[in-house]
A = this chain, B = another copy of it.
C-alpha cells in the first residue's frame, strides 16, 4: 500500500491510478474508463446500468493537488473532458469538487480517485441456510470397494480390467469406462491399498476417482448462482448431511446489477463474455475453497487404525478431531441459474436470450467436466448444469420446481420467484405453465434513486405515521429503529427490496401517495419531507435525512421511483392473473414465494399492494431458497436430474406480453391497493378515507 510509486518505469501508454480509500493502485493503459481501471485494480464500484451512463451510481471524485505526496503530478486535466450525460447526476457544486461518472471519465494521465461510500459496491454477507426437504438417497456418484488378486504370469490382466472384474463380481456393475485423470491414480492406488481400492463411479458408468483401501465418504456441492448472490450447499454424498452452507456476492455485479446490463456489457466489449465468465468461475473456485477451508467436527471419531480417505487431524489446542478435506474430495457439483447467467457462466453467447423471442442456446441439462470450465474440484468430476425452461425461465426455476414438485400435487400452486424478473409457474400434476414478467429490478432495490442491495445500511423496514407523516425506519446491520437511535447511529445508505414493498404500502397507508401512485400534493403541501428536486424538477419524499446517512445526502423516494415499483408489482400481478386465466382457473389453491424476497416479504402488505392475485393469506407460503434446494436434490438423487429435464420440456412456456389482454390487465394492476375490496379483512390496514378515494 505504501510502496513508493516508480514513476520512472511508467511507459508512455500507461498511467498510474490510485483509488482511495482502499489504497489500491497500479498502472493501467491510458484511455480506459475509471470503471475499467477499477476492475483492473480490484476496486468494486457500483455500476447498476452496465456502464450505459444512465444510472449515475458510479460517481467518483478525481482528487487534485493532493498527488504530490505520492510522488506524481496530477490534475483534472488527466481525465477526459466533462460530458453532457454527467450533468444529470452531478450538480455544478459537485462538479466543482472534481466529481465525475466513472463510466464516462477516461484515464489520460496519473490520477488519484476517491470512491465515495455511496458508489462502493457493498460487500454483503449472504447466508442461505438449508431447509429440511425430503430427498431420496441416490447420488450420481457412488462408491464401490473391491479387493482383487495381484497379477501373476497366469493372470497378467491389466489394473483397470482387474478392478472392473472385481466390481462386476461383487456389485454386478459392468461396461465401466474411466476418466484419464482417474486412470493415472489407479496403479498407485491399487498397490498402496494392497490390491484393495474404493472407486467413485459416476452415473453407473464412468470411474472418476480411485482411492486406496476402503473409503466411506465423498462430497459434493449444490450451487445456486443468483444474479446478485451465489450460495452453495456442501453435502456429504454418503450421509446426505449438509456439511456447510457457503455463499458470496456474485462477482459479476461489477458488470451491471441486472442480467440485461450484463448482456449489454457483453455486446459492447469483445472480451466481455469471457471476462464475466472468468469472474463467476473464479468466484465459484473461491466458494469451493471456502467450503473445504472450513474445518468442522466430524460426525464420528475416526476409528483407530482404520484406513480411510478422510483426513482427521488432531487439534492440539482443544483435543478435538476435525475433518479436513481437499478440493479433490468434491466429486460432484450441481449448479442452477437464470438463463442469462447460465449462458454467461458457460460462455455461450447470451445475446439472443435478450432479444425476442428469447431462445436459449440449449434447454437440456449438461454434464460437463469441471476441468473444462476451470472449476477446481476433483479433476475427473462432472458438473451437472440444470436445464433451462425458456429465455426468461431458467435452471433456477427448474430447481424450484424439482424442490416443490407441483407436478405431483392435485392442488393448483402458483410459484413466484421474484428477482430482477418475476418467474411464475402455475399448475398441478395435470398441467404446468410458466412465464416470466419483466418486473424490472425495482423490487431488488435497483434502478430507483436510493435503491441498493440488501447490504448493511439498507433500509429494510419503514413505518410512516398517517397523522404526522413522519418516517421511522430500520436498517440492515442495526436492530434499533430510527426513533430509538441517534441520527449518526443509523448510517443509512439506501433502501433495499424488502424495504421497498414496505415503503409503497406505508406511503399509501399514510396518504403520501394516492391510489394512482401520485404524490398527494395537496395533503403534503408545506411538509418538511416533501419537496421538488430543483435539479430534476421531480417531486420527492425524504425517508432519511442527510444527518442519518453515511453517504452525505438525504435518502429520498421520487415520483419516478414509485412508478418503477408500481410497474414491478403491476407486471407481476398481471402476469399471475393472465396465467390463472390461461389455466381456466378462478383462483389458485396455494401461492409459494421463493427466494430472499419471499423470505422477508410481509404477506399482508404484499396482498394489500396487489403483488399477486386472490389467495387466502394463510395459503401464501415462503419456500426460501427453493432453487438451491432443487440443486441439492439433484446432487443427492440422480432421478431428480431426469425430473429436471422432464420439467424443462414439459412446463409450457407462455409469453405473456403477446397476450391480447396483457396491456389492460397491466395498466389496471398499476393501481394501489389493488385487492382490498375483495379482502374485507384487510380493510383495517388501509384507512377508509384512502381506500375509498
Contacts and interface: CB of A to CB of B under 8 A. Distances in A.
Interface of A: 151-153, 156-162, 177-178, 180-181, 183-184, 186-188, 346-349, 351-352, 356-364, 366-369, 371-373, 388, 390-391, 649, 653, 655, 658
A359 B159 contact: yes
A159 B360 contact: yes
A158 B360 CA distance: 5
A560 to B, nearest CB: 31
A156 B346 contact: no
Contact of A356 (B153, B371, B388): B153
A356 B151 CA distance: 9
A649 B157 CA distance: 9
Contacts of A186: 361-362
A371 B183 CA distance: 17
Given A153-B357, A356-B153, A363 B158 contact: yes
A27 to B, nearest CB: 25
The 5 lowest CB-CB distance pairs between A and B, nearest first, are: A160-B362, A151-B359, A158-B360, A156-B357, A158-B363
Nearest to A379: B372
A388 B162 CA distance: 14
Nearest to A163: B362
Given A151-B357, A348-B184, A362 B158 contact: yes
A361 B158 CA distance: 5
Nearest to A161: B363
A160 B183 CA distance: 32
Given A153-B356, A180-B373, A362 B161 contact: yes
A178 B385 CA distance: 13
A361 B159 contact: yes
A655 B357 contact: no
Contacts of A156: 357-359, 390-391, 653, 655
Nearest to A273: B184
B357 A160 contact: no
Nearest to A371: B372
A20 to B, nearest CB: 38
A271 to B, nearest CB: 14
Which of A151, A346, A362, A655 has its CB near the most chain B CB atoms (within 10 A)?
A362
B153 A187 contact: no
A56 to B, nearest CB: 33
B160 A363 contact: yes
A356 B152 CA distance: 8
Contact of A362 (B153, B178, B363, B368): B178
Given A161-B362, A180-B372, 4 more contacts: A159-B359, A160-B364, A162-B359, A181-B372
A385 to B, nearest CB: 9
Contacts of A371: 372
A609 B152 CA distance: 34
A189 to B, nearest CB: 11
Nearest to A162: B359
Contacts of A655: 153, 156
Nearest to A155: B357
B358 A187 contact: no
Contact of A366 (B157, B180, B357, B364): B180
Which of A181, A184, A357, A361 has its CB near the most chain B CB atoms (within 10 A)?
A361
A359 B158 contact: yes
A670 to B, nearest CB: 24
Contacts of A658: 153
Contacts of A181: 372
15 contacts: A151-B357, A152-B357, A153-B655, A156-B357, A156-B391, A156-B655, A159-B352, A159-B360, A160-B363, A161-B364, A162-B359, A177-B364, A183-B362, A187-B348, A187-B351
A283 B159 CA distance: 28
Contacts of A162: 359
A372 B182 CA distance: 13
B183 A361 contact: yes
Contacts of A349: 184, 187-188
Contact of A368 (B161, B180, B358): B180
Given A391-B156, A655-B156, A187 B363 contact: no
Nearest to A350: B187
Contacts of A187: 348-349, 351-352, 361
Contacts of A361: 158-160, 183, 186-187
A347 B373 CA distance: 22
A348 B157 contact: no
Contact of A180 (B346, B360, B363): B346
